[in-house]
Amino acid sequence: MEKLIITAAICGAEVTKKHNPNVPYTVEEIANEAEKAYRAGASIIHLHVRNDDGTPTQDKERFRACMEAIRERCPDVIIQPSTGGAVGMTNEERLQPVYLKPEMATLDCGTVNFGGDDIFVNTENTIIYFANKINELGIKPELEVFDKGMVDMALRLHKKGIIKGPLHFNFVMGVNGGISGEPRDLIFLSESIPKDATWTVTGIGRFEFPLATMAILMGGNVRVGFEDNVYISKGVLANSNAELVEKVVRIAKELGREIATPDEARKILGIVR
């Protein structure tokens, strides 16, 4: 079994300091959280950025400032900007960070309800447009999947040569409107992708650590962080993203799975630095 790749999603676009006062907004706060998560065992930093008041932004220069600050503290970590942005952003807004040519970026593979009137829109043409731009810039895509139909979309576009291999999926589970976070659902998704593909699981809220434990046992990889869950245990707020990463590391060690360094993660994912 390959070593475990841990991704830290340190702030997201929606969670705020009202949910947990330790959610980072400023460049300094984001760099601090990224460094602590990296020191704890994360080899990938999944990056959204905020204005200093906490509002989400996809501004390229804000991404540049945060990425430079992170690299200064942990030069070998893999930085994975989000092209999801926040609900309501245009395609061009969302794509801004890819022009900084990161090693990885997310590629959302379908539309999903986010509760209430919020719809995260990714039409087939949007997916193709984003995939072509990511290919053009030589970036490794992480295929964001909120439901089984998104796996099928990714595989169809891969067959057409639009999404390039080797394929790496992120199963985001437990979102209101997407697939649930039950064990059967992770088994279903993981068995729906090619045998040579890699995958990560992102459990939202209470699903975070049960699904992380399953992924460790199944040979998958794990994402944790404030974007997905602000609690270290039921009713207890996490002090940092690092605390969430450390919990995954402890579980992995108990189950006999070693943790991948950033360079080992690059090798597993087929990233050429």
* CATH, residue 236: 3.20.20.70
Give the Cα separation of 152 and 158 in Å (integer). 10
* Share of the chain residues as helix, strand and coil, in percent rounded to the nearest 5: 40, 20, 40
> Structural domain of residue 49, as residue ranges?
6-269
Give the Cα separation of 104 and 140 in Å (integer). 5
pLDDT of residue 115: 83
Inside any domain, residue 1: no
Name the 3-class secondary structure at 255.
coil
Inside any domain, residue 194: yes
Contact 81, 56 (CB under 8 A): no
pLDDT of residue 87: 87
- Please choose, from the candidates 257, 273, 272, the residue with its C-alpha nearest in 3D space to the C-alpha of residue 5: 257
Inside any domain, residue 22: yes
Inside any domain, residue 115: yes
Inside any domain, residue 147: yes
Number of domains in the chain: 1
Inside any domain, residue 26: yes
Inside any domain, residue 211: yes
Residues 88-98 as b/e (b if ≥16 CB within 10 A, e otherwise) read: ebebeebbbbb
pLDDT of residue 62: 98
pLDDT of residue 99: 98
pLDDT of residue 272: 82
pLDDT block averages, 10 residues each, the chain of length 273: 98 96 98 98 98 97 98 98 93 97 98 92 98 98 98 98 97 97 98 98 98 98 98 97 98 98 98 84
How far does Cα 150 stand from its chain's mean position?
A: 16
Write down the pTM of the prediction.
0.97
**At 149, which amino acid appears?**
G
